[in-house]
Amino acid sequence: MPISRPAMAELLWTRPLHMRAQAMTAAPGSLLVTERWTRLARLDPATGKQLWSSRVEDCWGTTVTTADRCLYLSQAGVLHCFDLRTGQPLWSRPDLQFGHHVTVSNTDVFIGGWRGYRPMTRLSLTDGTALPFTCTPLTDGGTLVTDLGPIATPLPIRLGPEGAAAVLVAGRNRPVLLALAPTGAVLAEWPLPEPMYFPDSGSPYSAGTFLSGRRTVMAFHPDQGVQLLWTHERDLAARAPMRDGRTLWLADETGIAVVDLVRGVIAEIEHRDHGGICASSVVAGRALIAFTDGSLMTVDRTGAMTSVLRVRGHVSYLIPGTGGHLHAIAKGHLLTMRFRVPDPA
């Protein structure tokens, strides 16, 4: 596949992190990232300017944000809650070792389930106190805590005509997708062809799209439940399918397949010259893919591959922001690009 003209992107800023950061999340007006091994910093996503920095135990945890708070679960098992605007510590809760997933739904925080090390637990977003979380029976006789196995990162959703707060949960051991109330009660249950296929860390969902087994691409919508989108002819990589509208970009054992959900496969791209895929995301209507040789490239809806830039070392994270911004971490530094939305065809 030939490489097309230069990408419609500009590099806005870079920032040294003095280590290989392991946690980053973006929100409107905020970019949260770990740096210097024991610091959590909030940056201005447009300029990279530091807005505040707070000490944490380590840099290998998980961070999420709400409208006014930032949560960081360290690998040491301490959950910190900061005021998002000022960085002021609001509360912390220790003794949460072997957790990794952190999900906020309304006023509840859900911890654990990662790799099956710890069952899900529920905490109050207000002060971190433990809240009841029941072991609800499933319709086939199994139980949520004991039978799902390692779970994917729970996804906060709104369910039903009244928009009730819920979390979407799936595990490696059972072919089912569950919507849970904050108490753990099952609000809805959808069977899957096979158990959800997902990586150890990172979200298995992209625009509500996920893998069931190694070849089936499914979609979820709170009002419509699950829908089969595509069955691939080869095994797919354990990463969230990239989707924008009716276009899928799928990584399989031979390369990247571009799928039009109406017309079928329209392009298959080999990328052996650039090594394996280490991170991917959708930005401005294209798939952005980072390869192990340091290349960042976009793939559009027709399968045209465009070089964006090349970085030293492979990229660990690609996190889309707002306004066409894309944040990336590569070998101890953070960089932010802005992509222009392509003209309509």
d(CA 81, CA 74): 11
Q: What is the pTM assigned to this prediction?
A: 0.91
Q: What are phi and psi of 141, to 5 degrees?
A: 95, -10
Q: Is the pLDDT of residue 209 over 70?
A: yes
Q: Is the pLDDT of residue 8 over 80?
A: no
Of the chain, the end-to-end C-alpha distance in Å amounts to: 21
For the ranges 157-161, 267-271, 337-341, which has the lowest average pLDDT?
337-341
Q: Three-state SS for 274?
A: helix
Residue 145: pLDDT band by 50, 70, 90 thresholds? low
Q: Is the pLDDT of residue 2 over 60?
A: no
pLDDT tens-digit series, residues 287-305: 999 998 889 999 999 999 9
83 compared with 143, residue with greater pLDDT: 83
d(CA 65, CA 283): 21
Hey, what are 99's tokens?
């957790």
d(CA 57, CA 295): 33
pLDDT tens-digit series, residues 69-101: 999 999 999 999 999 999 999 999 999 988 899
Segments of 28-112 assigned E as strands: 30-35, 39-43, 50-55, 62-65, 69-73, 79-83, 89-93, 102-105, 108-111
CA of residue 273 relative to chain centroid, distance: 27
d(CA 87, CA 73): 15
CA angle 91, 318, 124 (to 5 degrees): 20
What residues form DSSP beta bridges with 14?
335
pLDDT at 98: 87
